[in-house]
Amino acid sequence: HIFRESCPAMLATLLRRFIAFELTVYLALALYVLETPVLTAMLFALAGVLGLRLWIVGLTFVFAWRHRSPAPRLGRFQAIGMFLGEFAAFILNFVALSPFERWWMGDDRLLPNGRRPPVLLIHGYGCSRAAWWWQRRGLEQAGWTVATISLEPIYTDIENYVDAVARRVDDVLAATGAPQMIVVGHSMGGLVARAYLRKHGVAKTIRLITLGTPHLGSELARVGIGENARQMTPGNAWLAALASEEPSVDTVNIFSSHDNFVTPTSNLLLPRARQQPIDGLGHLAMLYSPRVALFLREGLEAQETGSRLK
């Protein structure tokens, strides 16, 4: 069974238009203001696209440093590698993958698997299902049946995503014939998954795995857009209600002690979960990290083989 993603790719359209507008501005500036040759203007435009995103990633690390929690100290080269890895992940996610989601992702392949439950991957704030391109490939190669979802509209109340997740869960279970599934959420996706469990219970969910989720909020969310950003600010009433009302389910919490989006990083902790910290890794880089992939597969297979997760 092949599931065809029916949700309109709003984020992909917006990103394509923004990048086209951005390139046009840079090219016009180079050609008509700086009066450079065409090839130089094209290189200038490319440098402009990369430079803006380098500046954005740099700001996240400055913000994280100002709101840092105690964490293992990184060496100079390790810190540089972490920054470059996060920059590469930012470019890959928002310039290459998300604007052209259908090219990269295609349709979910929901095949019955009698040995393992299906897995639903829920992306984070400002992203789409394209964020899971690398992780989905690895999980499918390891023998897992993997489903994805794009949460839209992009900036709205997190509760507005819950019914869409519930429908996706039902569709996946119906297509695969499985009675239950494992839900994995990156960043805000972990909060969406927890909100789903609070409303719909745990009857259809074996386990929850969160990656870099701001369980106690993030100071960076204060500069975000939309109600979902407000719900991720530390100490807000929605997060408090979520913690007090959600049902209990086996949970694995994988996070980076040097996360540059969730600040302070102590807010990544979820007390009732099995914790798996990782050092020297940025927030978006988690989506493309072999170390995270290893711990994710261990979390998925915990009941089958045991686990090194803490």
pLDDT at 216 exceeding the cut of 90:
yes
C-alpha 84 chain-centroid distance: 18
> Are 118 and 147 contacting, i.e. CB atoms less than 8 angstroms apart?
yes
What is the spatial distance between Cα 262 and Cα 271, in angstroms, rounded to a whole number? 17
- Beta strands 2-3 and 108-109 are antiparallel
Interval 252-270 mean pLDDT: 97
Q: Which two tokens stand for residue 209?
A: 């795995």
Residues in CB range of 179: below 8 A, 6 or more apart: 173, 204
Helix, strand, coil content of the chain in percent (nearest 5): 55, 10, 35
Count other Cβ atoms within 10 Å, centred on residue 211. Answer: 29
Window from 2-6, 101-105, 226-230 with minimum mean pLDDT? 2-6
| pLDDT tens by residue, 93-134 | 999 999 999 899 999 999 888 889 999 999 999 999 999 999
Q: How confident is the model at residue 309 (pLDDT cuts 50, 70, 90)?
A: low
pLDDT at 290: 97
Count other Cβ atoms within 10 Å, centred on residue 244. Answer: 8
pLDDT at 165: 98
Domains of the chain as residue ranges with CATH:
10-101 (no CATH), 102-302 (3.40.50.1820)
> Is cis: bond before 153, omega within 30 of 0?
yes
pLDDT at 304: 47
Count other Cβ atoms within 10 Å, centred on residue 134. Answer: 18
Query: What sections of the chain are H helices per DSSP?
Result: 10-28, 38-66, 76-91, 101-105, 133-141, 162-176, 188-200, 227-230, 237-245, 290-300, 302-305
| pLDDT tens by residue, 271-290 | 889 999 999 999 999 999 99
> Are 143 and 113 contacting, i.e. CB atoms less than 8 angstroms apart?
yes
What is the spatial distance between Cα 235 and Cα 216, in angstroms, rounded to a whole number? 7
Secondary structure (3-state) at 6: coil
Instruction: Name the pTM for this structure.
Output: 0.93
